[in-house]
Amino acid sequence: MALTFYSYPKCGTCRKAKKWLEENEKELNEIHIVENPPSKEDIKGLYEKSGLPLKKFFNTSGKKYRELGLKDKVNSASDEELLEILSSDGMLLKRPIVTDGNQVTIGFKEENFEKTWK
């Protein structure tokens, strides 16, 4: 079964993750996170399956995150508000997001990929 791979082609981390997945013979359904961002419902589902805090879904090093001054808001907003913000712009999402429908990884750390996708 193909993994859903939300990525931004210009992102170096996404390219490293894609290379790792391809080297480990994973079939990918690649989705451009900016042109086709996941919906609020999709993000909520990913969040619930990930077991991670919702603030881990934010691309905190991104220009958009800083422009919108989200640093303080992320710590005080409700999950509903955070989901709304995340679904408003694909550039706000940490990437890549990889899922098989049950498990979810965010970003690329080789040891996490080894554990989850090997």
Average pLDDT, the chain: 96
Domain 3-117, CATH 3.40.30.10 — does that match? yes
Say if residue 81's pLDDT is above 90.
yes
The DSSP code for 58 is B
With a CB cutoff of 8 Å and minimum separation 6, the contacts of 9 are 15, 32
Q: How far is CA 96 from CA 49, 50, 78, in A?
A: 16, 13, 24
For residue 49, pLDDT beyond 90:
yes
pTM above 0.75, yes or no: yes
Q: Which amino acid makes up residue 7?
A: S
Domain ranges of the chain: 3-117
Strand order in the sheet with 3-7: 28-32, 3-7, 97-99, 104-106
The pLDDT of residue 1 is 82
Crossing angle of helices 110-117 and 12-23, rounded to 10°: 40
Give the pLDDT band of residue 35 (cuts 50, 70, 90). Answer: very high
pLDDT score recorded for residue 53: 95
The confidence score (pLDDT) of residue 89 equals 96
